[in-house]
Structure 1
């Protein structure tokens, strides 16, 4: 015979389910409020995040100089200047060869356009010069009629560039201050917090800092692998500007999705202009294969080891971040997931090993030492 349900146990289970559901709703509401507040403060938070990421790159040489007895301000200043020089050198490494071969690239683009017109004039399209001229006149008319929207787009683009410059300057200034005063932050924070928080928050912050450093180093390693593989492939095809393209591939690895697409498009365009359609298709296939290996093999494996996250968790985090916040979300998804894992692991440690009860002062009064 089937067991008769116990009304008391059923009501208790329903009350427990209702309480858990209410707690989950409260947590989701609080998370929504936090995300809304972060969105309102994003112009301040974004330079802060960039400054922290840049500091993880520049902290090892600053720590080396401080360990040799350099004053913190001097060490931070030297490392900041060296970082700016390195960034300027990377830009020059890309821009100078491109400028030196700009004439050849221009001639190649012109020849490519001429070849496309010849191909379009033949079968099966049979597009004559009159049709091309008519299409050009139509495009010019639409361009003139859309002058207002074009001006708006240009102004918006200029505003975006100005915002990007301001964000970069703020991030560099914050990087300098982090390099100079960073080691004093956790002791100061511990003095400001009451009770257990004075111990817990600095420990979690220190572990989070180590996690950010592991993320930046793993991302740099992934970018280096991409740059080497794609650079070797382009060099084997005889594509010009191999070194600038490899450097661009390395830098673009720090900007998920858009960075890889941009670097790949530039490499394929240069291969098309300089070597022709066949080599361009080979270069495209090479870049697609390398990027698929990066996204599905290299990046999950390297970051899972450095961050303590499973490769599947990293893939899901990047997918969720890109769907919620686009490029910025995909950039920050992995470090945010790693920081959440740091907090969870620390909470699990504390719940698994609760703090010991303080000893009775009356029983151990003889052992007490007054500072």
Structure 2
């Protein structure tokens, strides 16, 4: 005879499912409230995050100086100044060569526009000068009709630049204080927390700090690989400004998606202006190949080893972060996923039975 459902077991399963669903709903509500609060405090949280990422990059030399007997304030000051000099040097490597060849690049742009115009005037397009003039007049009319939106866009852009400058200055100050007083944080946190939190939270914080350092180092290594391979390809093709373009590629690697697109666009544009369409297509192919290898092979492998995350988790985290918060979400997706993994692994360690110790015996039916 076929087995019949037990009403008692069915009711118990439904009660358990309802209780689990209620717990999950409560967790989702708390997570939504935390995200809302984070969004309201983003003007403070974003400089803090940038300062922490910069500190993970500059902490090794500061730690070296502190171990050699340097006072914390002096070590933090020296490292901060050196970091600023390095950033200024990187900007100089990009800006100075471009400025020195700006005249030639300008002439090349003009010649390129003339070439495109002559090509459009010939077959198969056969676009005459009157059609080009009409198109320009139409574009000017549309621009005049959208003066209000253009002004709004300019104001928004100026506000964005100003906010970026403020964020950078705050992040640099926070980096200095983190380098100076960072080792005091965990003892202070231990004294402020009650009970078991005084033991567990500092451990999770220390592991999270090590994870962030691993993330920044892996990003720097991936950017170095991109800069070397793309710079080598540009040198073989004979594109000018190889060193500035390689440095720009390295710096842009810290901004996922948009950074790579921007660096690749600049490289292709310079190749088109200076060497022509054929070399520009070759440069485009080199950049696409390197970016595909970096995004699908190098970056997932390096970050998965340094962060303890599977390569598929890294790819999914970047995709989810980009869909939820754009460029900032893509930048923070991997370290956030790694921090969640750190907290989860520590929680699982605390909830697991020690090796060799028998698991808790199941309760008896009478109990």
Same fold (TM over 0.5): yes
1:22 aligns with 2:22: yes
**Residue 255 of structure 1: SS of its match in structure 2?**
coil
Structure 2 CA distance for aligned equivalents of residues 62 and 189 of structure 1: 22
1:103 aligns with 2:103: yes
Find the counterpart in structure 1 of residue 289 from structure 2: 289
Find the counterpart in structure 2 of residue 183 from structure 1: 183
Structure 1 CA distance for aligned equivalents of residues 352 and 24 of structure 2: 23
- Cα deviation, residue 128, structure 1: 1.1
Find the counterpart in structure 2 of residue 253 from structure 1: 253
**Residue 140 of structure 1: SS of its match in structure 2?**
helix
Find the counterpart in structure 2 of residue 74 from structure 1: 74
- Cα deviation, residue 155, structure 1: 1.1
- Cα deviation, residue 153, structure 1: 1.1
Structure 1 CA distance for aligned equivalents of residues 249 and 62 of structure 2: 27
- Cα deviation, residue 141, structure 1: 2.4
Find the counterpart in structure 1 of residue 227 from structure 2: 227
Find the counterpart in structure 2 of residue 360 from structure 1: none
What pairs up with 1:1-371 in 2 under 5 angstroms?
1-353=1-353
Q: Where do 5+ consecutive residues of structure 2 fail to align?
A: 355-367
- Cα deviation, residue 147, structure 1: 2.1
Find the counterpart in structure 2 of residue 359 from structure 1: none
Q: From the superposition, tell whether residues 272 and 262 of structure 1 become closer, same or farther in structure 2 (CA, over 3 Å).
A: same
- Cα deviation, residue 142, structure 1: 2.4
- Cα deviation, residue 263, structure 1: 0.3
Structure 2 CA distance for aligned equivalents of residues 13 and 23 of structure 1: 15
Structure 2 CA distance for aligned equivalents of residues 95 and 9 of structure 1: 73
**CA offset digits 1:173-210 (Å, max 9, x no partner):** 00000000000000000000011111101000000000
**CA offset digits 1:216-260 (Å, max 9, x no partner):** 000000000000000000000000000000000001100000000
- Cα deviation, residue 353, structure 1: 4.2
Greater Cα offset, 302-311 or 149-158: 149-158
- Cα deviation, residue 138, structure 1: 2.2
Structure 1 CA distance for aligned equivalents of residues 59 and 197 of structure 2: 26
Structure 2 CA distance for aligned equivalents of residues 349 and 147 of structure 1: 61
Structure 1 CA distance for aligned equivalents of residues 105 and 88 of structure 2: 24
TM-score (structure 2 length as normaliser)? 0.95
**Residue 171 of structure 2: SS of its match in structure 1?**
helix
The number of residue pairs the alignment matches comes to: 354
Structure 1 CA distance for aligned equivalents of residues 279 and 20 of structure 2: 60
Structure 1 CA distance for aligned equivalents of residues 212 and 26 of structure 2: 29
**Residue 15 of structure 2: SS of its match in structure 1?**
helix
**CA offset digits 1:17-36 (Å, max 9, x no partner):** 11011111111111111111
Find the counterpart in structure 1 of residue 364 from structure 2: none
**Residue 168 of structure 2: SS of its match in structure 1?**
helix
Structure 2 CA distance for aligned equivalents of residues 225 and 176 of structure 1: 29
**Residue 158 of structure 2: SS of its match in structure 1?**
helix
Find the counterpart in structure 2 of residue 363 from structure 1: none
**CA offset digits 1:342-371 (Å, max 9, x no partner):** 0011111111147xxxxxxxxxxxxxxxxx
Structure 2 CA distance for aligned equivalents of residues 3 and 32 of structure 1: 44
Find the counterpart in structure 2 of residue 357 from structure 1: none
Structure 2 CA distance for aligned equivalents of residues 338 and 76 of structure 1: 27
- Cα deviation, residue 135, structure 1: 1.8
Structure 2 CA distance for aligned equivalents of residues 150 and 108 of structure 1: 29
